[in-house]
Structure 1
């Protein structure tokens, strides 16, 4: 091989390595600017029965971290921090769980083809019945905690009682 092609190869090779590395990093990013999150999922029961509907929130103990939350459906949930199902950042969390029986029909009464009035929705939420004890609705009173580890966090179950 002559000197010209070797010189060209020597110049291109480092650029190709750098470009490939950058593509790997960019390809692994989800565009949120957040560190890696890990899957968290499990079940929520109240007095041994699945909580049919509700929300679960993981509030970080570290004030510089981010909360994660999820919807409880049929007793199961998975967490989201920024992108649906992306999980939670590693760390220690205080957990809150809410489940309420909201009468949406009352909020929708008199509405024809549109959205209910904000006051009617607020009233329906104010009159809603808690389906789990209210103490679980705040991370400071729930007594529930969990530490998210690097890797999969499956079967993170919470059994609520009176």
Structure 2
């Protein structure tokens, strides 16, 4: 992927602002303007095709594992938690954990859960169908994805708001 960007035209997103939301007009506008945005923590890639290309590029690594060290945090509870967080594992450790988790997220397991997934979708749609419109992420995508994850992990669906809030935080 070879793409040049005029840094003067890159949108800025303050992702540490408590009011920041990925599903916001600000992010949609930034995505229309550019495939990349500057943030207070570095660059953010905003479009699917560019993210997919970067994830497949063998010359790049995620780098999140080293985030605490880059910000002066070299030990302590946060450093220990971060270094073991599944979302930042890389290389051999990442592949080892993926091999362990893949069976729970396999196509055959998903097929077994299709009736439950359909029930979740129908329940969510029933919650907004009479209104004739919905906020897709808030009303369907987030609760569906999180409740489907609960089903795959064998958790009671009542826990989905807690899990979704933690996922958004991470």
- For the aligned pair, the TM-score class normalised by the smaller chain equals under 0.3
Structure of greater relative contact order (alpha carbons < 8 Å, 6+ residues apart): 1
TM normalised by structure 2 equals 0.21
- Give 1 or 2: higher helix fraction: 2
